[in-house]
């Protein structure tokens, strides 16, 4: 659905000028329930949109016969403000050139895959006893500590192959530690022990030497989590990593290794 601006610049300016004038406690609303309009060219908290949110909250309470309390009013106001923020963001995105839109959407999908990967590994750590000693490290690494990936095709109905882009700051030695989580996930996915969307392809991730371009990093990790060449450069001072002097034991329990190796051949993560 195409979003079309419903408030002209002149209307917005006129209302904003009135909003700052002394009003003896009475505020004229910018819109009404009969001519309801919000401003996609402004911000969610602009004077016009704040007025629209008030109108929406009042109308919703009376139309749905909800309790007319300040708590109810503030709850609806907060929810609609968040919704309005999404609409404004989508409108501004739609105004960008197609190439820039595609670039942003690709980056959003990449971050979504990183988020999913983190929670996939986190779930396994909480679920399996031999992996639980790694929970704290996974939590500290968070989403920013996961590798991202890129695909050469994302055509609907075709199985894409993803190429791993490791964080620039992260030690290569951690890849094998993560691979055990991912191999275990693949086993459980095939056996139906973990949820996967109907008809969805397993995400095939291929190891590469390429690095992520992201400058996000995770500070305060044990020294052996960071790439030695990177940590000795001036980036250490620039980003204030504050690595701890301890070395983390990234080994897995023999039972996990034996289980994975007995079922799954080396999997190309």
| Predicted model pTM | 0.63
Reported as a single tens digit per residue, the pLDDT across 24-44 is 556 789 999 899 999 999 999
Is the pLDDT higher at 129 or at 229?
Answer: 129
Radius of gyration of the chain (CA): 25
What percent of the chain clears pLDDT 70, i.e. is strictly above it? Answer: 82
Find residue 170's DSSP bridge partners: 226
Reported as a single tens digit per residue, the pLDDT across 48-73 is 999 999 999 999 999 999 999 999 99
pLDDT value of position 197: 45
Reported as a single tens digit per residue, the pLDDT across 109-119 is 888 888 999 99
Which has the closest alpha carbon to 111: 154, 70, 79, 143? Answer: 143
Confidence of residue 100 (pLDDT cuts 50, 70, 90): confident
Spacing of C-alpha 254 from chain mean position = 34
Going from N- to C-terminal start, the domains of the chain cover 9-94, 106-263
Give yes or no for a contact between 52 and 39, defined as CB atoms under 8 angstroms apart.
yes
3-state secondary structure of 205: strand
Strands 204-206 and 161-165: parallel
Separation CA 18–CA 26 (nearest Å): 11
Per-residue pLDDT at 268 exceeds 50: no
Per-residue pLDDT at 216 exceeds 90: no
């Amino acid at each position: 659905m195409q979003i079309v601006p419903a408030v002209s610049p002149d209307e917005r300016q006129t209302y904003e000028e009135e909003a700052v004038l002394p009003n003896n406690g009475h505020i004229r609303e910018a819109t009404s329930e009969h001519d309801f309009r919000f401003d996609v060219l402004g911000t969610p908290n602009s004077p016009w949109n704040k007025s629209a949110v008030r109108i929406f909250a009042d109308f919703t309470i009376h139309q749905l016969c909800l309790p007319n309390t300040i708590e109810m009013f503030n709850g609806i106001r907060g929810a609609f403000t968040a919704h309005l923020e999404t609409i404004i963001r989508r409108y501004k995105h739609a105004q960008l050139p197609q190439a820039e839109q595609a670039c942003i959407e690709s980056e959003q999908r990449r971050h979504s895959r990183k988020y999913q990967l983190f929670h996939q590994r986190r779930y396994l750590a909480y679920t399996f006893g031999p992996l639980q000693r790694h929970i704290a490290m996974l939590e500290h690494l968070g989403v920013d500590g996961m590798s991202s990936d890129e695909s050469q095709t994302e055509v609907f109905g075709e199985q894409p192959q993803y190429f791993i882009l490791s964080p620039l700051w992260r030690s290569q030695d951690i890849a094998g530690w993560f691979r055990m989580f991912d191999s275990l996930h693949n086993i459980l996915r095939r056996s139906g022990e973990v949820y996967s969307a109907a008809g969805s392809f397993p995400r095939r991730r291929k190891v590469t030497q390429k690095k992520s371009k992201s400058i996000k990093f995770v500070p305060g990790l044990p020294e052996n989590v960071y790439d030695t060449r990177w940590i000795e450069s001036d980036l250490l001072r620039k980003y204030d990593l504050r690595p701890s002097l301890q070395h983390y034991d990234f080994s897995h329990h023999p039972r996990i290794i034996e289980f994975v190796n007995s079922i799954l051949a080396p999997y190309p993560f």
